[in-house]
Amino acid sequence: MPVYKRKKPLLNAEMRRRGIYLLPNLFTTAALFAGFYAIVQAMNARFEQAAVAIFIAMVLDGLDGRVARLTHTQSAFGAEYDSLSDMVSFGAAPALVMYEWALKSMDRIGWIAAFVYCAGAALRLARFNTNLAVVDKRYFQGLPSPAAAALVAGFIWVVDDFKIEAVGTMRWIACIITLFAGITMVSNIPFYSFKDINFRRSVPFWALLLVVFVVILISTHPPTVLFLMFVAYSLSGYVVWGWSWRKKRSIA
């Protein structure tokens, strides 16, 4: 008579590990929901809520990778899922929100500008996924899609907060910002990635004061401060590229 061995119950540590494994994907799902929510709110002409949702998606997108590294739960599935979520939250959502807010009345020019942004985000994400092993970790190649989305959403948020109608000159500014963000994402301009900053080691006291100052500054008027911060970041790559080009030319 055959003897069947009784399977041992899962250890508590293994069960906890399986539970933690879902944690980064839950953050990714939350970021995906925020991007989807932004699209829905734009369709309902609630553009401030749509812009805020994109910023929330950006925060959640930054957390999922860190949670995965801290819990040692990185996986190929998580990387692919994160990329697809980014395409919705930072590619389709900003393009559609901007189109509904300002570009819709510009007919062909409006939807072409929105598509340039959406295509730029898709190409940016595809290039990022294929160049992980060959690029300098300290710099992004092209404007990161979350920063591009924050630039577009920040402009919508600050203009809507000041109760300015998206007509006339404002439509053209919106169109230029959308095209600028889309084209810069697929450029070779280097943008600092902040990945070489180690948050686990001790930092000088002034660094803590700087963080507190930034938090206080953002709290004074979030739409304006956040938009200006991402404008500065989106231009920083061109400044670094221009400085490097000038140095190479002077040496030659």
Residue 167 in any domain: the answer is yes
Phi, psi of 2 (to 5 degrees): -65, 145
**What is the secondary structure of the chain as a DSSP string?**
---PPPPPPPPHHHHHHHHHHTHHHHHHHHHHHHHHHHHHHHHTT-HHHHHHHHHHHHHHHHHHHHHHHHTT---HHHHHHHHHHHIIIIIIHHHHHHIIIIIGGGTHHHHHHHHHHHHHHHHHHHHHHHSTTTS-TTEEES--HHHHHHHHHHHHHHHHHTT--S-THHHHHHHHHHHHHHHHHTS--EEE--TT--TTS---HHHHHHHHHHHHHHHH-HHHHHHHHHHHHHHHHHHHHHHHHHHHHHH-
Asked whether the beta carbons of 36 and 84 are under 8 A apart, the reply is no
> What local confidence, expressed as pLDDT, does residue 198 receive?
67
Share above pLDDT 90 across residues of the chain, in percent, rounded to a whole number? 64
> Mean per-residue pLDDT for 235-245?
91
Q: What is the pLDDT of residues 211-238, one digit of tens each?
A: 899 999 999 999 999 999 999 999 999 9
Checking if the pLDDT of 132 tops 80, the result is no
Q: How far apart are CA 56 and CA 150, in angstroms?
A: 10
Phi, psi of 63 (to 5 degrees): -85, -35
Pairwise pLDDT comparison (205 vs 6), residue with the higher score = 205
Pairwise pLDDT comparison (61 vs 204), residue with the higher score = 61
- Minimum mean pLDDT range among 3-17, 50-64, 210-224: 3-17
Range of the domain at 147: 19-195+227-246
Phi, psi of 98 (to 5 degrees): -65, -40
Checking if the pLDDT of 8 tops 70, the result is no
Placement of tokens 């109608």 in the chain: 165
pLDDT category at 207 given cuts 50, 70, 90 is confident
> What local confidence, expressed as pLDDT, does residue 134 receive?
61
Residue 216 in any domain: the answer is no
Checking if the pLDDT of 24 tops 90, the result is no
Q: How far apart are CA 38 and CA 97, in angstroms?
A: 7
Residue 203 in any domain: the answer is no
pTM for the structure as a whole: 0.87
pLDDT category at 160 given cuts 50, 70, 90 is very high
Q: How far apart are CA 9 and CA 227, in angstroms?
A: 53
Residue 252 in any domain: the answer is no
Checking if the pLDDT of 199 tops 70, the result is no
Checking if the pLDDT of 206 tops 90, the result is no
Residue 9 in any domain: the answer is no
Residue 201 in any domain: the answer is no
Residue 36 in any domain: the answer is yes
Q: What is the CATH number of the domain that holds 135?
A: 1.20.120.1760
Total domains present in the chain? 1
- Token pair of 76 as six digits: 């190929």
Q: What is the pLDDT of residues 145-156, one digit of tens each?
A: 999 999 999 999
Mean predicted lDDT score pLDDT of the chain: 88
